[in-house]
Amino acid sequence: MSPTRVGSSLVLLLFLAASTPGTAAAPLERNDPYELELVRSGRQELVTAWHQANEMVRQAMAASDEEPERAKQLFLDSAALFDGVAQATHGSGEPYWRSSRSHWLLAENLPLEAKQERIEQFTIADERAAKGLEVDPACAPCMLWRFTSMGRLRTTQSVISGLRGASVMADLLERGIALQPKHRDSANNSTLGNLHYGSAVFYRVLPDWTWLGWVLGVRGDKERALEHARRALELHPARLDFRLEVGSQLMCIGSTRERPERVHEGAALLAALLEEPTHDLREKRQLAAAEIMLHSPEKACGYTGDTWVEIDAREAADVAGDF
């Protein structure tokens, strides 16, 4: 894998901070509050649809590596059921973000070369999460899935436009964390943990140039990014992607600020990951990235989940002149 030059046509790397919420942890919720609301409504058909949709997501995750076509259909069917519940109820973002998640998971599990199909699914995921926020402005999971859909859509497109989008993404993360959401799919996967993880990637990848803060109202912050990564790992210490992010943060800080002790600390974390068995395609991609960063620590700041990017500061400054 080689870095991709980000010039004026791609504008700054705004959306490369694409969080990747726990794809390895299938939903296994107990006492789902929204399902209990549906039960109290007396509409058994909605309860059944809700249960079926969540079960389909679980089955799709389990089948995603060995039976990708079956998984694809299950993701689509689950999204359709969530959409149906959304249309039959009012005032909650819950069914919208779950539909968003199904489309996002489908896109994330498609081969990287299926670019157009991934773009289509990430676009739908973004739209569903945005609709959830429209009907429920305090929906923290909607904020998470809007953020990550925006990110993955634009990294997949390889076209980044609109510097102002960075402040939108930062706002989604900050508001989501401030709400301290309690939702969790499993012991290893929660909305709050993923919001911290998304913030870690966002503030690591976004450049920390002073003038960027003047233009956007937000700029990169490597130490802040590390704090978010550590917080995410505190919440879910078994998550491979969270451990990889802490290692990436340390390698990034160490290599850019001439702090070899941070590079060594990050390298130890990444090397330990390589000793562990992989369970799915995504984990294999993550460990491949860890191996690359061990050999090239300077790439850690630009790791996006699929590849690496670098920014040409002069071209970015030219673009900023438009604002």
Domain ranges in the chain? Answer: 4-320
Quote the Cα angle for 74-134-73, to 5°.
10
The confidence score (pLDDT) of residue 13 equals 43
Instruction: Record the tokens describing residue 138, joined without a space.
Output: 């305090």
The confidence score (pLDDT) of residue 305 equals 64
Residue entry with tokens 């059921």: 81
The confidence score (pLDDT) of residue 255 equals 86
The confidence score (pLDDT) of residue 48 equals 94
Residue 320 · residue 312 · CB < 8 Å: no
What are the pLDDT tens digits along the chain (323 aa)? 333 333 333 333 444 444 456 544 444 455 688 888 898 988 999 999 999 999 999 999 999 888 999 999 999 999 999 999 999 998 899 999 999 999 999 998 898 889 999 999 999 999 999 999 999 999 999 999 999 998 888 777 754 444 557 888 899 999 999 999 999 888 888 999 999 999 998 898 888 877 777 877 888 899 999 999 999 999 999 999 899 999 999 999 998 888 889 999 999 999 999 988 877 777 888 888 899 899 988 888 887 665 666 654 444 555 455 54
> Distance between CA atoms of 40 and 167, rounded to whole angstroms?
39
pTM of the model: 0.83
4-320 adopts what CATH topology? 1.25.40
